[in-house]
Amino acid sequence: MNNFSYVLAASVADALQQVVAAPESRLIAGGTNLVDRLKVFLDQPSLLIDISRLAINQIETTPEGGLRVGALVTNTALANHPDVRRNYPLLSRAILSGASQQIRNVATVGGNILQHTRCPYYYDTAFPCNKRHLGSGCPAAIGVNRMHAILGASDQCVAVHPSDMCVALAALDAIVEVEGAQGQRQIPFTEFHRLPGNEPQQDTVLAPGELITAVILPPLAFAQSGVYLKLRDRTSYSFALISVAAALDLKGEEIQAARLALGGVAHKPWRSLETEAFLQGKPANATTFEQAGELALREAQPLTHNAFKVNMAKRSIKRALTIAAQGGGVA
């Protein structure tokens, strides 16, 4: 770990001024991802700007009936908030399925959204990596790629986004509120993260000098049927091979609306809008849910070691939608 300076930001405006003045700086709150990156020299900032004391750590009800979640709310606080448990249960379950209790106690919502891939080739600087040095190559594409992408990848990068929380937020139509030198703007969650394309080093559409201040959860009545299903190598402290966030709005046996997002399959949380449109007006039965899985994975391009993910994802979609049709609950 290299030497660096440290400053405690007094306000959002102060933090933004510090970032603009020191482009090689990094913001730190819980530090659960950044500290790991510092240890292996992925980040070598000249300055750490501590934003952990900023007044963006509250959960508030919006006038529309949704929730505004401050960027510094901890994962534990969000997962256990009564309004989240009651109205957005799939978000609570997604958070509780990730990391350990100790990490969730300090990890923040903003930090979770901005965490980097856990691709081992990216973390091991002995290997080339286009995310670290554009043009150096992607060894995962031809190497050990069991955990890697089957959707939306490019020949530049096959890494996957590691977050559980973000898959749920994608399914819930969340909005990311950011602030920068040009003022405040809101970004739909499904547009916040990027696919790798020819610029795999860019994970998000966040502009230089911008700071996440909040995440807005719009009211979604049928989110109470929400399901978060996570398949992994072991039952705790493991990243998803496949995860599914799903919710259904039913009128009798007919699907009025659906939400479906996948994790462990792409460089970003994968919202399957085409599948949602297909489900609308269909009967909530096994045949429909099998067809939904086929459609969601229609464009999958598995790698040498992860072809199993395709059928695993199809089966997981069917299971998650089946549970959602039954009113939700533990998957």
Residue 68: phi and psi, rounded to 5, are -110, 115
Residue 245 and residue 321: Cα distance in Å, rounded? 9
Helices (H), 74-184: 75-80, 82-87, 89-96, 101-106, 109-114, 120-123, 165-171
pLDDT in tens, 194-210: 999 999 999 999 999 99
Residue 142 and residue 236: Cα distance in Å, rounded? 29
The answer to whether the beta carbons of residues 22 and 48 sit under 8 Å apart is no
- The pLDDT value recorded for residue 104 is 97
Q: Which domains does the chain have, with CATH numbers?
A: 1-54 (3.30.43.10), 224-325 (3.30.390.50)
- The pLDDT value recorded for residue 85 is 97
pLDDT higher than threshold 70 for residue 12: yes
DSSP string, 291-331: HHHHHHTTT----TT-THHHHHHHHHHHHHHHHHHTT----
Span 126-145, mean pLDDT? 97
pLDDT in tens, 70-113: 999 999 999 999 999 999 999 999 999 999 999 999 999 999 99
- The pLDDT value recorded for residue 235 is 87
Q: Are strands 67-70 and 47-50 parallel, antiparallel or unpaired?
A: unpaired
Tokens of 247: 């919710």
In 3D, which of 3, 2, 25, 5 has the Cα closest to residue 15? 25
Q: Are strands 59-61 and 183-188 parallel, antiparallel or unpaired?
A: unpaired
Q: What is the mean pLDDT of the chain?
A: 96
Tokens of 303: 């790698």
What CA–CA distances, in Å, run from 36 to 65, 92, 111, 116, 326? Answer: 38, 25, 13, 11, 41
**What are 229's strand-pairing partners?**
244
pLDDT higher than threshold 70 for residue 182: yes
Q: Does 85 or 2 have the greater pLDDT score? A: 85
Tokens of 46: 């000249």
- The pLDDT value recorded for residue 2 is 80
- The pLDDT value recorded for residue 236 is 84
Residue 261 and residue 36: Cα distance in Å, rounded? 28
Residue 330 and residue 323: Cα distance in Å, rounded? 8
Whether pTM exceeds 0.95 = yes
- The pLDDT value recorded for residue 237 is 86
- The pLDDT value recorded for residue 330 is 60
pLDDT in tens, 255-275: 999 999 999 999 999 999 999
Span 170-193, mean pLDDT? 97
The answer to whether the beta carbons of residues 321 and 246 sit under 8 Å apart is yes
What CA–CA distances, in Å, run from 257 to 88, 223, 306, 317? Answer: 16, 11, 31, 16
pLDDT higher than threshold 70 for residue 299: yes
pLDDT in tens, 146-179: 999 999 999 999 999 999 999 999 999 999 999 9
